[in-house]
Structure 1
């Protein structure tokens, strides 16, 4: 398999930012004292803790180390018009990927081995591009704070710095930001089926089941979930279901990509910003 994708020259974050992300970001910026809380949590101790913990327990991807993954990273950065951050691979049984962008430090992305085992190469690139979306949209400060809440439970003191209400609002923001980053994944792969396939595998996939999954059936499932919002009780139940989650449910994320990929906004963005040939294209792996 070989194909090429167009780099989106001069791409700006606000050209693909999801409206919910914009609304939630503006709400956080209006909170008094939030910057002080962030400075308290993202000091030198937190930065050094996560940086050292990461380089001690993960593999740094490069041209010499896992070069296929490095090539996927470089290609996605070229498409999204973004500098190349560090990418690490970490042994972990839970499929996941996340981004840290510490103040004054080089940002880095971490992918778990179990997620890599679950996905095709194009899907891995979609995940990488999703994480790049956080960097493209300058989610770094709030995202790192959210990651501290998710990953540092019991390791760093949160109580007394962030109230439960503020923590809930930050987690609501990160759920909204995920929709934007799914759009970044679509822009990088320029194939909505690849992005939605990632959602499908995160919902109920495994290395053993992956070849048996039907994407069209999953897309129909995502559309059915979306239909529930047409009733008041259905919308209430969906809000209760997602309130404690760090990410929107995968079927909803797939439905959002399904919608945006068919929108004039997406088509116009691809046609106006594309420049071919942007990258050498995929090799036959």
Structure 2
């Protein structure tokens, strides 16, 4: 099912963190008391609430439950050198995945059923690895309050407008930058930029019936056309206005960014530096690598 991949033993978050993520994270650290608020106040309440919510209304993936998805998780964790979190599948019509984690606590990832139905197994692993990127980079201190507010807006519609107002532009800017880093984690796990770009393409305009008909090369050409709009000041201003209130960069921009990084010497050097052999597609459940 999966091709041989390079295990990234000893991989550190800062070795693949996007420069914009680093810059935006440093800016968020200047907000007084945010880290303390999340870990000591929001964190314990949110962790227990969503743990109960997942247990009650989600499927916990494991060796005896959706084992093919569990294997994708273990493979991605071994490649990225990270302990496996809990993984839940939840019934939902909107294709999405999200992560919750507090430092030193049990992290978990949630995949929506509609997302799984939309993607191939390799693409599902890319999504899992993207979420693992949030864990690897300890994005939880800032990601958790954003996710709480977004999910609360859906669960409590009457509060939606007030919650949306509380999503500060600085935190949204950080989240957009963090997504670039996590797309890199998806690439490091799949080691195929076309798989990552295909996920973005299907999330842009795919469906279970349309996705097999989509053309990835045409989508990447579309990404380059989006770049061309920045050739003048008006185009750049319009792009900034378009993305200012978004939690994620626009998909074509993410596809272009990951395509560029996959061709970079930095990415190639990272694979070579951490390579201790090639993964043969078998999961070592004892936590070690079976190297050739």
TM superposition score normalised by structure 1: 0.92
For 1:268, the equivalent position in structure 2 comes to 269
Against the structure 1 CA distance between its residues 273 and 82, is the aligned structure 2 distance closer, same or farther, given a 3 Å change threshold? same
Secondary structure, in 3 states, of the residue corresponding to 1:152? helix
Moved more, 149-158 or 116-125: 149-158
Against the structure 1 CA distance between its residues 156 and 256, is the aligned structure 2 distance closer, same or farther, given a 3 Å change threshold? same
Against the structure 1 CA distance between its residues 142 and 2, is the aligned structure 2 distance closer, same or farther, given a 3 Å change threshold? closer
Write the distance in 2 (CA, Å) between the matches of 1:56 and 1:166: 28
| Residue 42 (structure 1) shift | 1.1
Write the distance in 1 (CA, Å) between the matches of 2:143 and 2:98: 9
TM superposition score normalised by structure 2: 0.90
Write the distance in 1 (CA, Å) between the matches of 2:186 and 2:275: 16
**Structure 2 contact 8–275 (Cα < 8 Å) conserved:** yes
| Residue 279 (structure 1) shift | 4.4
For 2:286, the equivalent position in structure 1 comes to none
**Structure 2 contact 18–181 (Cα < 8 Å) conserved:** yes
| Pairing 1:251–2:270 present | no
For 2:211, the equivalent position in structure 1 comes to 210
For these two proteins, the number of residue pairs brought into alignment is 281
**Structure 2 contact 97–109 (Cα < 8 Å) conserved:** yes
Against the structure 1 CA distance between its residues 164 and 33, is the aligned structure 2 distance closer, same or farther, given a 3 Å change threshold? farther
Secondary structure, in 3 states, of the residue corresponding to 1:216? helix
Against the structure 1 CA distance between its residues 79 and 240, is the aligned structure 2 distance closer, same or farther, given a 3 Å change threshold? same
**Structure 1 contact 42–102 (Cα < 8 Å) conserved:** no
Secondary structure, in 3 states, of the residue corresponding to 1:109? strand
Write the distance in 2 (CA, Å) between the matches of 1:265 and 1:104: 31
Against the structure 1 CA distance between its residues 211 and 127, is the aligned structure 2 distance closer, same or farther, given a 3 Å change threshold? same
**Residues 100-115 of structure 1 mapped to structure 2, 5 A cutoff:** 100-115=100-115
**Residues 76-115 of structure 1 mapped to structure 2, 5 A cutoff:** 76-115=76-115
| Residue 262 (structure 1) shift | 0.6
**Residues 47-196 of structure 1 mapped to structure 2, 5 A cutoff:** 47-153=47-153, 155=156, 167-196=168-197
Secondary structure, in 3 states, of the residue corresponding to 2:88? strand
Partner deviation per Cα, 1:202-250 (whole Å, 9 max, x = no partner): 0000000111000000000011111212211111111111111111111
Write the distance in 2 (CA, Å) between the matches of 1:165 and 1:59: 31
Secondary structure, in 3 states, of the residue corresponding to 1:117? helix
Partner deviation per Cα, 1:80-120 (whole Å, 9 max, x = no partner): 01101110000000000000003553100000000000000
Against the structure 1 CA distance between its residues 3 and 281, is the aligned structure 2 distance closer, same or farther, given a 3 Å change threshold? farther
**Structure 1 contact 126–185 (Cα < 8 Å) conserved:** yes
Against the structure 1 CA distance between its residues 202 and 156, is the aligned structure 2 distance closer, same or farther, given a 3 Å change threshold? closer
**Structure 1 contact 126–195 (Cα < 8 Å) conserved:** yes
Write the distance in 1 (CA, Å) between the matches of 2:64 and 2:223: 40
- Structure 2 spans left out of the alignment, 5+ residues: 284-292
- Structure 1 spans left out of the alignment, 5+ residues: none
Secondary structure, in 3 states, of the residue corresponding to 2:168? helix
Secondary structure, in 3 states, of the residue corresponding to 1:8? coil
| Residue 281 (structure 1) shift | 5.2
Higher RCO structure, 1 or 2 (CA under 8 Å, sep 6+): 1
Write the distance in 2 (CA, Å) between the matches of 1:253 and 1:218: 12
**Structure 1 contact 199–250 (Cα < 8 Å) conserved:** yes
